[in-house]
Chains A and B, each alone.
Chain A
Amino acid sequence: MLIERQKMESLSEALADRVEKGRSPWADARVRFFRNRQAVIGLCLLIFVLAFAGFGPLIARWPIDEIDFMVMGDIVRDGAPSLANGHYFGTDDLGRDLFARTVLGTQISLAVGLIGAAIAVIVGTIYGAVSGFLGGRVDNVMMRTVDILLAIPYMFVLILLLVMFGRSVVLLFVGIGLLSWLDMSRIVRGQTLSLKGREYVEAARATGVASSTIIRRHIVPNLLGVVIVYATLLVPGMILSESFISFLGLGVQEPLTSLGALISEGAATMNYGTLWQLIFPLFFFIVTLFSFFFWATVCAMH
């Protein structure tokens, strides 16, 4: 033992100032991620969509709400996609530039998806972790509340709210986000229950670490894997819900728009020979969803 200690000490002196950088489980995951082709495709698609939403306004030659009177007379003939007059994706039925509007729609759809998912993740994780960790009666009350809320058909409620309080982006964000944390909190609670029995949590409790600190330091970081997978699945779900509501004509208000609203308008005029009005928004809708689904499957594999 003594000899071993001496050896250790001389070794540690030799290496004293070279503190080794540990490779976290996340770093390992990153390495595996870039070996996975599906993941890289998903990432490329996502970057493409984000770049389109981010840099699109710089490329667009028309503002989102200006009507081009040159093409307004005959949209089918003059409103088709063309590089010459700056309507890269053509115009919509009123003669507004479809490229600018698709960019805006992508921005809004992404925002709804990401913000909605973020609300769901934050609220759901905290709620579920607290419920699972405290356990007992508190857990019972908190989870029964979730059950009751889940029993409400939330799409119906959201539509009612939008009809009652008028259409607004804020209500849409909050409504979708606040209703979708329910599933999240259940998943997180289940995971917390299994984490709670782990020895490292027990070790922390035995030394007297406060419950809030245990949740923050030991439970939540170890939940992150599950939460991220579910969140990436949640984003396309949010985008779909928003599109559905917009498709019904209850989503964001003109002149703002979203992919769902654009698709709805495009579908309405499909039979009059202006197919581009459907194709372009639909393409970005599908690419966006695909990129997130790819991500989700990849995250799930790790």
Chain B
Amino acid sequence: MTGDALLKAEDIRVTFEIYRSGGMPWEKPLALHAVNGVSFELRAGETLGIVGESGCGKSTLARAIIRMVPATGSARWNDEADLLKLSPREMMRYRSDIQMIFQDPLASLNPRMQVGDIIAEPLITHQKGVSKSEVRERVQEMMSRVGLLPNQINRYPHEFSGGQCQRIGIARALIVRPKLIICDEPVSALDVSIQAQVINLLMELQRELGLALMFIAHDLSVVKHISTRVMVLYLGRVMEVAPSDELYAAPQHPYTQTLLSAVPIPIPRSSATRRRFPLKATCRAPQSAIRLRVPHALPPGDGNLYRGGSGSPR
């Protein structure tokens, strides 16, 4: 189990210094232990789910591994280097192996860049000698692979839906053929049906390319679906790591039990006891007919009814 780990993190700690507002410059800052001694292992092709309440340090852990925040401890990559101890120049080699997907799909794309340039950015950063036409070719290939139309290469991000934007983000992450993708709540901002599409896409790509995933999420059912193992964080500490079926079937740690008990479970009421409000009125029915057939739940028709739900968000 030890020798073949892609990423072996040991005792990762991230401490932020909080300066008290109104304090004097020489006062000692308070220390906020955002990540407090986290260890885990990740093998190629595996998915590690990371769950925990808001503010428990999930994003900070991810950012520590790619050296966006200073951290102590060790994160051995492929048994060849400790990511946390490399100089920025040496780290460059590994940045193409580890890519990231972000929470807000639209915000993670530069609004002034065309989609093709956005997706190509990691490629031209890491592989300097690639010709323009080859970059374009590879971008288009990647776009069709993640389910985007390759001829939309010259469009701008604001012309895409949230789900499509997330696909652009995925394409950008995959273009340099990384070994590990860190997904920081990649589906939290998406509609439920789109969530499933994006997650299935990720799983499919993972299978094809043998990717390792670090999957951070709030939604425990999503994590269960995608993860091989799940790590539960609380206040910067690991509470429990277990294969996902085991964790969900028999949570060992009290915090995990609490967390799982808080998951809203959809239990449809049996059809016998449930009151239903069938809407039979058709568009051609006169006003009075609608009022007769539609029970109290809907206000009498003023035209809104025909448009199907007033003020529903797009």
Contact = CB atoms under 8 A, between A and B. Distances in A.
B155 A1 contact: no
A36 interface: no
A20 B154 contact: yes
Given A199-B102, A208-B92, A209-B125, A8 B149 contact: yes
Nearest to A221: B112
Contacts of A11: 149
A69 to B, nearest CB: 61
Interface in B99-115: 99-100, 102-104, 107-115
Interface string A272-289: 000000000000000000
B110 A25 contact: no
A12 interface: yes
B102 A22 contact: no
A11 B99 CA distance: 30
Contacts, number: 98
16 contacts: A1-B200, A1-B204, A8-B144, A12-B150, A22-B115, A199-B102, A203-B100, A203-B102, A204-B121, A207-B126, A208-B95, A208-B96, A213-B125, A217-B121, A222-B110, A222-B111
Contacts of A209: 121, 125
Most buried by A among B108, B114, B200, B201: B108
A29 to B, nearest CB: 12
Given A8-B144, A199-B104, 18 more contacts: A1-B197, A4-B147, A5-B147, A9-B144, A12-B149, A19-B153, A22-B115, A22-B152, A22-B154, A25-B111, A199-B108, A200-B108, A203-B100, A203-B172, A206-B95, A207-B176, A218-B110, A222-B112
Interface in A23-57: 23-25
A156 B211 CA distance: 66
A22 B200 contact: no
Contacts of B125: 207-209, 213
A62 B169 CA distance: 65
Contacts of A206: 66, 68, 95, 99-100
Contacts of B37: none
Interface in B76-112: 91-92, 95-96, 99-100, 102-104, 107-112
A137 interface: no
Nearest to A224: B112
A207 B96 contact: yes
Nearest to B153: A19
B151 interface: yes
Contacts of A205: 68
Nearest to B111: A25
B126 A208 contact: yes
Given A8-B147, A205-B68, A207-B96, A24 B156 contact: yes
A51 B10 CA distance: 71
A200 B66 CA distance: 15
B136 to A, nearest CB: 10
